[in-house]
């Protein structure tokens, strides 16, 4: 399961896309081979997560802005869960 959304950097105002592959609770690591889409920012630090349909879904996280390289706090909106 993939989460993705846009976030506007609170430091420089640049909008960037982030991306996160939600781990399945029972997932075997051997099959976790999905490649990262180019040009998207990976979530850096996952905060609180909830369990939904066997996935551990993050509610908030942090990601580095690709323009100014500062850490942004991101709240993951419910519509992309
Ligand atoms: Zn920025």
Q: How far is the CA of 36 from the centre of ligand 1 (A)?
A: 21
Neighbours of ion ligand 1 (CB under 5 A): 9, 11-12, 14, 65, 67-68
Does 3 score more than 90 pLDDT?
no
pLDDT tens sequence across 15-37 = 999 988 887 766 555 445 566 67
Identify which of 48, 49, 44 has the alpha carbon closest to the alpha carbon of residue 16. 44
Q: Which two tokens stand for residue 69?
A: 């390289």
Q: How far is the CA of 4 from the centre of ligand 1 (A)?
A: 18
Q: How far is the CA of 72 from the centre of ligand 1 (A)?
A: 8
Strand order in the sheet with 45-46: 45-46, 60-64, 71-75
58 neighbors 42 (Cβ within 8 angstroms): no
The secondary structure of the chain in percent helix, strand, coil, rounded to multiples of 5, reads 5, 45, 45
């Amino acid at each position: 399961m993939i989460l993705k959304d846009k976030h506007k950097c609170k430091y420089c105002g640049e909008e960037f896309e982030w991306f996160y592959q939600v781990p399945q609770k029972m997932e075997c690591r051997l099959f976790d081979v999905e490649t990262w889409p180019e040009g998207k920012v990976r979530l850096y630090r996952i905060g609180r997560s909830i369990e939904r349909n066997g996935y551990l879904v993050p509610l908030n996280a942090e990601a580095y802005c690709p323009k100014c390289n500062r850490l942004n706090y991101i709240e993951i909106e419910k519509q992309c869960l």
